[in-house]
Amino acid sequence: MDFSPETLRTRWSELTAVREAADAELEPRWAELESIVGGTFQGSLEVAKARENLLRAEIRQLQEGLFPVEQERASIARALNGKTG
């Protein structure tokens, strides 16, 4: 495997794209969860609680998938002494 700075920066960019795609999926879920927890959700308490549980499970699943991506990004950042751009 090639561990040149150029190759590492390319991999960093690929992983960043994965992270940004996941963030795009997470953002609306976080906003909806915030509306439920913050009390601005329009609906019954039972519906709010069910939706909250579903959102928390979805968020957890998406974040679990990001763990290896973030681990690799951290390793690359250390290897490049923080010069990822």
In this predicted model, what pLDDT tens digit does every residue of 5-61 receive, in sequence order?
999 999 999 999 999 999 999 999 999 999 998 888 887 888 889 999 999 999 999
pTM of the prediction? 0.77
Tell me if 74 sits within 8 A of 11, measured CB to CB. Answer: no
pLDDT score at 12: 95
Domains of the chain: which residue ranges? 5-73
Measured CA to CA, the distance from residue 6 to residue 38 in angstroms comes to 45
